[in-house]
Amino acid sequence: MSFFSRLTKRALSADSLLCIGLDPHPEFLHRSTAGEARDFCLRLIETTTDLACAYKPNSAFFEVYGADGWKALREVIAAVPEEVPVILDAKRGDIASTALAYARAVFEELGADAVTVSPYLGGDSLQPFLADTKYGVFLLCKTSNPGAADLQMLDIGQGEPLYLRLAHLASIWNEADNLGLVVGATDPAAVAAVRAIAPDLWLLAPGVGAQGGNLEAAVRAGLRTDGLGIVFPVSRGIARAKDPRAEAARLREAINHARQKAKEGIGAHPGLSPSLAALADDMLETGCVRFGEFTLKSGLKSPIYIDLRRLTSFPDLLARVATAYIPLLKGLKYDRLAALPYAALPIATAISLQTGQPMVYPRKEVKGYGTQAVVEGGFEQGETVVLIDDLVTTGGSKFEAVERLKEAGLEVRDVVVLIDRMGGASHALADAGYNLHAVFTLEELIDHWEGTMKIHVEQAYTVREFLGIRG
């Protein structure tokens, strides 16, 4: 049985995605000794076994005691019941015979079932850890520490950050169902981006509890369509609690509550991935999309109003919206992003910050003083830009922006938006030689919200009638 088959079996039998961290910090111990560290962990195991999907001891808190600590770690791992997987947090990473020795130490000498590994040395450094399919590897992908952006967010071309390339490679390397990824729950946008690229891999998502990760957002972003695929390691939040068992039970229940909410959304409209379903729901909940009666600029009465300028008041949601653009941008060839004022300016800025891609924007009104620039930002004539906007209906505003960009000597081939309102823009842009790419169509959103009962059937019907969409 492969490692993740075992993990799946345990998650289902325990009805748990909670991984309990075994980190015997000196502050938790009466005396800082290997024996005290061992006994501390044994008490946690004894009181929480039925609640845990897995246990994750951190080797550093044992290695600090030398040979005695190594022995204590082996005893802690041996105390975990056979049916509960043990993930050793050791962050190993080397090549050839050295990596093989590390793998033997982790799996054969210590008895762990899986280990965290650094990917910096490339795919061959993983092979000794993956050779036996009953053992698993969680590869560091997008970690939860502040310095993660120093390397993991580096743009490696076409707006793709390094951590997403790693997620893609991991999907290829996972030939025997024993390779997963570490993605911090402190960054739900990154969790969603990784899930979009690696829809089948298991994720280990630290950061809930002491690090302040948003549990519900991380569950919704990382859950697979089968309601599994992500485990949440919690150490200090349980160890510091007055009643560790009660806290573990509370966390398991909180995870399961978030799972149920996410699964309801996933099952109702299988056309949206879990991360996009969560994004759609949060746009509705934050008032970026509203239903009622609204007077549009044209004077028409509309039963729906989409105001993505509100994203500026919800930074986490803005970051996730930006992340949703990245898979569409990956396949396009361009030199810079070009944002349409005003709603797309913060969205494109967030994309730029996540990918490192430079940005420009065409002005709505050209100044009569200063540089009198038609397009703001640095660029070279002849460069290609991809047009970023929040919405598209008929495409009219896009043509105006394209003309201003062309006046400045820039080329445009592609337009990328969050929502296509299905007002004919796709055909109009195509006829003019431009390609439209949308994260959502309005029909997909209406179907999803109706299917998950976020809106009434009557509301969905009214919007479809207004837009000429037949459900």
Instruction: Just list the catalytic residues.
Output: 91
List, in order, residues 6 or more apart from 82 with CB less than 8 Å away: none
Q: What percentage of the chain's residues is helix, strand, coil (to nearest 5)? A: 45, 20, 35
Q: At what angle do helices 274-285 and 442-451 cross, to 10 degrees?
A: 90
Residues paired with 363 in a beta bridge: none
Spatial separation of the C-alpha atoms in residues 147 and 165, rounded to whole Å: 19
List, in order, residues 6 or more apart from 6 with CB less than 8 Å away: 85, 113, 134
Q: How far is CA 235 from CA 11, 420, 468, in A?
A: 18, 44, 53
Centre a 10 Å sphere on the Cβ of residue 129 and count the other Cβ atoms it contains: 24
Indicate the SS3 state at residue 415: strand
Bond into 342 cis (ω within 30) = yes
Q: What DSSP character marks residue 214?
A: -
Q: How far is CA 244 from CA 43, 108, 181, 234, 250, in A?
A: 10, 30, 27, 11, 10
Spatial separation of the C-alpha atoms in residues 372 and 374, rounded to whole Å: 7
Residue with tokens 């759609």: 280
Indicate the SS3 state at residue 301: strand
Strand order across the 203-204 sheet: 54-57, 18-22, 230-234, 203-204, 179-183, 136-142, 114-117, 87-92
Indicate the SS3 state at residue 118: coil
Which amino acid is located at 149 in the chain?
A: A
